[in-house]
Amino acid sequence: MGTQMILKRGAFSALFRFANCSGIVIPETFAGVGDLPVGAYMTLGESLPGDSMAAVYKSKCCLVWVANPAATRIPDAHFFWEARYNGTEVVCISPDFSATAIHTALALAMVQTIIADRLIEWDYIREQTDLPFLVRTDTGKFLRATDFGETGPEAEHGFYFWDEATKQPVKAPATGFGAEGAGAPGAAAPAASLRLDGIRPAVEGRFKVRTTKGRVEVTTVFELTRALVNREYTPEQAQAITGVHADNIRAIARSFAKSGAGMIYAGYRSCKWLHGDKLHRAWLLMCALTGNTGREGGGMQTTQLAKSDGFAKFVFAGVGPRVKVAAISVWDYAQSDGKALNEKVYGGEMAEKLDRYYRQSINNGWLPDYSRTPWKMAFMAGHNTANWRASGTRFRDTVLAKLDTIVAMTPDMSVTAMYADYVLPIAQHYERHDFTMEGRTPYIQVLDQAVPPLGESVDDWEAMVRVARAVSSKARERNLPPVKDTASWQAQQGAA
């Protein structure tokens, strides 16, 4: 599936209904085109930090960082100019003026200024961040429940504060539950709250803690962060890297921190860079220190998805949730010999290391093993994957050429269609009734049929209906039993 399919909500619903009923795997293409803000997922556990575009109007200091909404978000750009009329300070940080201004060092120099000037939302970082978590100075690792004799996977994920009230280490709320997804299939996640309930975590300082192996010194993540930026990322050091004057770096950092609603509008460009994750994490650190993540008009803004409650009801109705969406990087690694590609690009040592982690994840059940079931047939819907894949002809040679059957659902004679065994002609944008909904755009665009579909073309909804009916008919003719779904079958086995 591709972007043009996802935005057309009727077409998107039909595809997912078919996938849910049939149990096929859908490799997502969000990360495939480099639009996924990986650093946000690393930091927050949420892949899409963002609000609607209207949130720009609520910001008081908006840093437009590596984005050009006046050109790429034409229907929404008015929010920036109206925000300016409303008193918002809009700052553009763009490689068009300085190719290195988008360097992570610039964001970390702003972090250094915020910390040095103590422009920090202290209560926010105590409760909502890991900045007060204790770190052992001897190993550089978090102080864990295992250091106090606890065992099991939960102990590995039990972290600690230093409580200023009791002068003792205390377990941080909402930690100590084991790795996400480590419970029994179908089991609900444990309920937890970040509320401190009388605990006052120390943010600064060094402390002595008695563990099962003796006394050790600990400090906080905040202290280590402060030491890092003071050592390597002062505004003067960032000026040498980026060309942005240190005075300007400090001025923007102070304006952002004091605004009360500081936003970093990012777009998708930084998501495509090799080290874009580091830049995202630096942005989120700026937002964390100033209490802007979760605040109206604040935080790091990339994109958001439309609400899926009605969509999900239709997709799962009468069947239950069975749809399988595969991370495209994992899918590609399994289907197109990712290890060989890594060896060619990065060398044997790096390829071996990555493959070792991949195999460990498969063996531990952290990732599904898509290579166990040969991929024989593909429906290419709403995208042109044979053309846009970053690996170019390699994807065609190592994946597409090995498939028994390719079905392309397309309005054009695309590159993918030319590789296909069957081409299902799909109606163009204004040859159908549908509506588009982009997650952060605060309005819906109705697609009204201006002209009838050309020739035998139908919209995606009708195509999926016809395919589903044909599959059902053939299944009845062959007297085929229902296929046990992988996810539900595992859940049943776990319950038994």
Q: Tens digit of pLDDT for each residue in 289-311?
A: 999 999 999 999 988 876 777 78
- Say yes or no to pLDDT of 491 above 50: no
- Mean pLDDT over 411-429 rounds to 92
- Say yes or no to pLDDT of 196 above 80: yes
Supply the pLDDT for residue 256.
Answer: 98
Structure tokens at 77: 């750009």
Residue 383 contacts residue 460 (beta carbons within 8 Å): no
SS3 223: helix
Supply the pLDDT for residue 98.
Answer: 66
| Whole-Å CA distances, 419 to 328, 393, 415 | 20, 12, 7
Supply the pLDDT for residue 181.
Answer: 45
- Taken as a whole, the chain contains a residue count of 496
Q: Please tell me the number of Cα atoms within 13 Å of 287 on its side-chain side.
A: 30
For residues 371 and 387, give the distance between their C-alpha atoms in angstroms, rounded to a whole number: 24
Mapped to the 3 state alphabet, what secondary structure does 409-441 carry? EECCCCHHHHHCCEEEEECCCCCCCEEECCCCC
Residue 66 contacts residue 270 (beta carbons within 8 Å): yes
Supply the pLDDT for residue 189.
Answer: 52
Phi, psi of 322 (to 5 degrees): -130, -5
- Say yes or no to pLDDT of 6 above 60: yes
- Say yes or no to pLDDT of 137 above 60: yes
Residue 79 contacts residue 318 (beta carbons within 8 Å): no
- Say yes or no to pLDDT of 239 above 50: yes
Supply the pLDDT for residue 5.
Answer: 74
Structure tokens at 247: 């005075």
| Whole-Å CA distances, 111 to 72, 98, 115, 132, 252 | 29, 20, 6, 16, 11
Handedness of CA 3, 398, 22, 322 (dihedral sign): negative
For residues 296 and 40, give the distance between their C-alpha atoms in angstroms, rounded to a whole number: 18
Place of tokens 């982009």: 438
484/263: higher pLDDT: 263
User: DSSP for 304-337?
Assistant: -PPP-HHHHHHHHTTT-S--EEE-HHHHHHHHTT
Q: Tens digit of pLDDT for each residue in 345-355?
A: 899 999 999 99
Q: How many CB atoms lie within 10 A of CB 467?
A: 17
Segment of 54-68, 95-109, 294-308 carrying the highest mean pLDDT: 54-68
Q: Please tell me the number of Cα atoms within 13 Å of 474 on its side-chain side.
A: 6
- Say yes or no to pLDDT of 202 above 90: yes
Provide the pLDDT confidence category of residue 191 given band limits of 50, 70 and 90.
low
Please choose, from the candidates 107, 63, 65, 127, the residue with its C-alpha nearest in 3D space to the C-alpha of residue 225: 107
Please choose, from the candidates 364, 341, 371, the residue with its C-alpha nearest in 3D space to the C-alpha of residue 354: 341
| Among 90-94, 153-157, 451-455, the least confident range | 153-157
Spatial CB neighbours of 366, under 8 Å, sequence gap ≥ 6:
179, 181, 360
Run of H or E residues at 353: helix 348-363
Q: Tens digit of pLDDT for each residue in 377-407?
A: 999 888 888 887 655 678 888 888 889 999 9
Provide the pLDDT confidence category of residue 490 given band limits of 50, 70 and 90.
very low
SS3 494: helix
Run of H or E residues at 218: strand 214-220
Q: Tens digit of pLDDT for each residue in 28-47?
A: 777 667 788 889 989 998 88
Mean per-residue pLDDT over the chain, rounded:
88
For residues 37 and 94, give the distance between their C-alpha atoms in angstroms, rounded to a whole number: 18
Supply the pLDDT for residue 326.
Answer: 85
Percent helix, strand, coil in the chain, to 5, is 45, 15, 40
For residues 339 and 335, give the distance between their C-alpha atoms in angstroms, rounded to a whole number: 11
- Say yes or no to pLDDT of 484 above 80: no
- Say yes or no to pLDDT of 473 above 90: yes
Q: Distance between alpha carbon 421 and the CA centroid of its chain, in Å?
A: 34
Supply the pLDDT for residue 495.
Answer: 39
For residues 282 and 43, give the distance between their C-alpha atoms in angstroms, rounded to a whole number: 10
- Say yes or no to pLDDT of 178 above 70: no
Place of tokens 């044979």: 386
Amino acid at 6: I
Percent of the chain with pLDDT over 90: 56
Provide the pLDDT confidence category of residue 190 given band limits of 50, 70 and 90.
low
| Whole-Å CA distances, 151 to 145, 146, 176, 397, 406 | 8, 6, 11, 49, 51
- Mean pLDDT over 323-327 rounds to 82
Place of tokens 């700052």: 91
Provide the pLDDT confidence category of residue 86 given band limits of 50, 70 and 90.
very high
Count Cβ neighbours within 10 Å for each residue of 254-270 and write b for 16 or more, e otherwise.
bebbebebbbbbbbbbb
| Among 40-49, 97-106, 177-186, 224-233, the least confident range | 177-186
Structure tokens at 434: 């549908």
Residue 148 DSSP symbol: G
Q: Tens digit of pLDDT for each residue in 348-384?
A: 999 999 999 999 999 988 888 888 888 899 998 888 8
Supply the pLDDT for residue 188.
Answer: 53
For residues 31 and 47, give the distance between their C-alpha atoms in angstroms, rounded to a whole number: 10
Residue 381 contacts residue 15 (beta carbons within 8 Å): yes
| Whole-Å CA distances, 21 to 1, 27, 174 | 17, 16, 37
Supply the pLDDT for residue 265.
Answer: 94
